[in-house]
Amino acid sequence: MGDTRRGKRLFAGLCLLSLATVGCGGPSPITLACKITAINVSPASATISHTAPPPGNTRHFDVFASAVTSGCVVSQSNLTNGTWSVSDNINVSISSVQGPTFGTATCNGPTSGAVTITATVPAGDGTNVTNTASLTCN
């Protein structure tokens, strides 16, 4: 008889513990306002030939979160929820289309120096975070 009562108490205790850890579907009492505060673009610079046949006239750029608000953790994988732009859209183009071309720059003509490649990523609070790299097309 003692084993039955002990088993029932153990079962009740486990049920209460599971409710405490899982919750009742409501909002969590502790919420962190996680925000990306800085990003890195890789590579920081590149030089390619605009006369090379594709894909030789392209260079892929990746963007990573390099800093977040205290207490937050982010994956060290390429961010794909941003946009890309270039300072010379006549000689260089870059894809912001989700998929394998995301972050791929194409040299369409020679540049007179380094072109600025800009990555813009949502910070998580309605603002954006940007950083740049450079690309020279010979």
Per-residue pLDDT of the chain (138 residues; tens, 9 = 90+): 565 555 555 444 444 444 443 443 444 344 457 889 999 999 999 999 999 999 999 999 999 998 888 888 776 667 888 899 999 999 999 999 999 999 999 999 999 999 999 999 999 889 999 999 999 999
* C-alpha distance across the termini of the chain, in Å: 87
pTM, rounded to two decimals: 0.72
pLDDT given for residue 79 in this prediction: 85
Longest dimension (CA), the chain: 89
Kindly list the structural domains of the chain, giving each domain's residue range(s) and its CATH number in brackets, ordered by start.
36-137 (2.60.40.1080)
Whole-angstrom CA distances from 89 to 24, 30, 32, 74, 106 are 53, 46, 39, 32, 10
Q: Is 6 helix (H, G, I), strand (E, B) or coil?
A: helix
Residue 93 phi, psi dihedral angles, 5° rounding: -125, 155
